[in-house]
Amino acid sequence: MSTKIPSITTAEQLLAAPYDLGPCELVRGELVMMTPAGEEHSQIEGNLHLALGPYVRTHGLGRVYMGDAGFLLERNPDTVRAPDVAVVRSSRASAAPHKGYFPGPPDLAVEIRSPEDRPKDIAAKIEEYLGLGVQVVWDIDPGKRTVTVHRAGSDPETLDENGQLTEPTLLPGFEMPVRELFAW
């Protein structure tokens, strides 16, 4: 038996969908379905969250979100993106989490490349994030075992496994060896 999926073009329709659509984002009013990312992707996401979460909480820097949180980036047409990991500074986080999508961009968005991701699509997503107010994007490439750091108004910087992941403005004092992202 097949289920007919009604047209979903707004953040409210996406949030109120009466069934689990699976991984998806809403991009300028169009529903974009995504394949589940797989074990390697999930392990990297978990490693980063285990490092960032306690650090951000202990230092009162804000909130860390996993990949199923949605960020309402623009309206008419609506865009709801779900970075793999995201950080919102405490000055922008409300006292309690929103029942719906976070209204606005995260300060830090992390995208972990999946095998089916096309480089031009990743580049477009990063450009979109920076254009809509995300301050920093970490583009993690498991195949190359690198992290490319994109900051608004700056050239990207690529770190290999010997590099140190830091973000002095958003995460003062945070340091994580890039190799730890890929620790199994």
Mean pLDDT for the stretch of residues 81-96: 90
For residue 62, count other CB atoms closer than 10 A to its CB: 21
Provide the CA 85 distance to its chain's centre, in angstroms.
4
| Tokens describing residue 5 | 């999926």
* C-alpha radius of gyration, the chain, whole number: 16
Residues 91-148: pLDDT tens digits? 998 777 778 899 999 999 999 998 888 899 999 999 999 999 999 999 999 999 999 9
Domain topology for 35-182 = tt1808, chain A (3.90.1570)
State the pLDDT at residue 3.
Answer: 47
Compute the distance between CA of residue 150 and CA of residue 147 in angstroms, rounded to an integer.
Answer: 10
Position 24 scores a pLDDT of: 85
